[in-house]
Amino acid sequence: MTAIVGAAAGEARARQEPIELIHSSFSGVIPATVETRATIAARVAAVESMVDAVTRVRTRHTQRPPAEALLDASRNAALLVVGAGRPRGAGHALGAVTHDVLVNIDAPVLVVRRTAADRISPGSVQNS
């Protein structure tokens, strides 16, 4: 998440735009991590601590599938920043959500690979 937020913060600062975090608690075909409001609030606070004081951070919570929520959010966005996700197996470079977003989006997208620190941290996530 650190690499994704860092990239998004840099782009937001350069474009003088806010960052909007999309959190999907969809529990359908693609299982979502069970999170409490406190966990989500802690994530938002962590993101806010990584951006400068001028960049606004907004959040959107939804129960829609993650790719659908990201595509919806991208309609009014200057840029969509997503993580590469967890590959689905040999021969795959992207996770399922990122793949679905890329084949259906009609907006600029920045795909960020996870850093080594993100890969080992217990709270690392895909496409928050």
Please give the Cα distance from 69 to 65 (Å, whole number).
6
Question: What is the structure's pLDDT at 87?
Answer: 74
Considering the domain boundaries, does residue 36 fall inside one? yes
Nearest to 124 by CA among 90, 73, 84, 66: 84
Residue of higher predicted confidence among 28 and 13: 13
Strands 57-62 and 109-112: unpaired
Parent domain of 34? 2-120
Question: What is the structure's pLDDT at 57?
Answer: 87
Number of domains in the chain: 1
| CB-based contacts of 111, cutoff 8 Å, min separation 6 | 82, 83, 84, 94, 98, 102
The whole-model pTM stands at 0.73
Considering the domain boundaries, does residue 28 fall inside one? yes
* Structural contact between residues 104 and 97, judged by C-beta atoms closer than 8 angstroms: no
Question: What is the structure's pLDDT at 124?
Answer: 42
Considering the domain boundaries, does residue 60 fall inside one? yes
Please give the Cα distance from 25 to 44 (Å, whole number).
15
Considering the domain boundaries, does residue 35 fall inside one? yes
Mean pLDDT of the chain: 79
Query: In the predicted model, is pLDDT for residue 38 greater than 90?
Result: no
Q: What is the pLDDT of residues 65-96, one digit of tens each?
A: 889 999 998 998 899 999 988 777 666 788 88
Considering the domain boundaries, does residue 75 fall inside one? yes
CATH number of residue 38's parent domain: 3.40.50.620
